[in-house]
């Protein structure tokens, strides 16, 4: 088994007192805060008779919403919708709010992981947890797992993957830049194997929280 080294991760659950679930997560120097409210009543026009309606709000440090923020919201919403058992909460709404606190690379993967921890903390029914990881292809064509901000900025390609905790199946994948099919497959395999470390971190955090309550 390969020896993977990820950025140091730290997390605190129940960070906000007025939400149904919350988490603050740091991966390296990147820090994200996520909160969950719901399931709750919403306007009839927004209701789904089959499942809960998930709304994701991403707030950047700059404060002004941008196209990049809407892209992040879309990725996080589709990812979390695969994990949430929305059929248990028809005609209701769940709001997931994510606040960027510090961005030193890996912001979107940190946001996905923080969102998952906040959902777990909220007690919303879930099919599985999700873990996001990233790789980049440097100037020499080598793969770098969980690159720093400088490495990601200088990379010729960046690849991001999200896996579920049950089968390690690919839930979401998004890429930037140019790379070969072989590079993609290698990055996918490396990130899938490293997702075990993220899921182990989740278990430790939830276990510690359970001991507190």
User: What does the pLDDT read at residue 2?
Assistant: 55
Q: Give dist(CA 72, CA 92) in Å, integer.
A: 23
Q: Tell me the CATH class for 9-212.
A: alpha beta
Domain locations in the chain? 9-212
Q: Where are the alpha helices (DSSP H) in the chain?
A: 67-83, 107-122, 149-154, 181-212
User: What does the pLDDT read at residue 136?
Assistant: 96
What sign does the CA torsion over 81, 35, 69, 27 have?
negative
3-state secondary structure 127-186: CCCEEEEEEEECCCCCEEECCCHHHHHHCCEEEEEEEECCCCCEEEEEEEECCCHHHHHH
Q: What is the mean pLDDT of residues 192-208?
A: 95
For residue 180, what are the CA distances in angstroms to 142, 159, 164?
12, 12, 25
**For residue 134, pLDDT beyond 60:** yes
Q: Write down the mean pLDDT value for the chain.
A: 93
User: What does the pLDDT read at residue 213?
Assistant: 46
Q: At a CB cut-off of 8 Å and minimum separation 6, what does 185 contact?
A: none
Grouping H, G, I as helix, E, B as strand and the rest as coil, residue 87 is: helix
- Using alpha carbons only, how large is the chain's radius of gyration in Å? 17
User: What does the pLDDT read at residue 209?
Assistant: 82
Grouping H, G, I as helix, E, B as strand and the rest as coil, residue 25 is: strand
Q: Give dist(CA 36, CA 43) in Å, integer.
A: 18
pLDDT for 41-82, tens place per residue?
Answer: 999 988 999 999 999 999 999 888 889 899 999 999 999 999
């Amino acid at each position: 088994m390969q020896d993977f080294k990820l950025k140091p991760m730290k997390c605190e659950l129940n960070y906000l007192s007025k939400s149904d679930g919350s988490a603050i997560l740091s991966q390296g120097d990147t820090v994200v805060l996520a909160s969950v409210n719901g399931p709750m009543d919403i306007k009839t026009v927004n209701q789904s008779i089959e499942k809960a309606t998930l709304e994701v709000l991403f707030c950047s440090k700059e404060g002004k919403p941008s196209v990049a923020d809407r892209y992040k919201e879309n990725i996080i919403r589709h990812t979390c919708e695969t994990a949430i058992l929305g059929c248990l909460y028809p005609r209701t709404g769940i709001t997931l709010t994510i606040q960027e606190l510090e961005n030193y690379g890996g912001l979107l993967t940190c946001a996905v992981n923080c969102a998952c921890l906040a959902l777990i903390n909220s007690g919303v029914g879930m099919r599985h947890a999700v873990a996001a990881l990233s790789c980049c292809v440097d100037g020499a064509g080598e793969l770098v797992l969980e690159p720093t901000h400088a490495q990601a900025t200088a990379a010729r390609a960046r690849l991001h993957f999200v896996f579920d905790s049950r089968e390690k199946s690919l839930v979401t994948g998004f890429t930037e830049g140019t790379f070969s099919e072989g590079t993609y497959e290698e990055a996918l395999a490396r990130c899938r194997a490293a997702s075990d470390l993220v899921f182990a971190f989740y278990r430790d955090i939830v276990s510690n929280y359970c001991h507190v309550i």
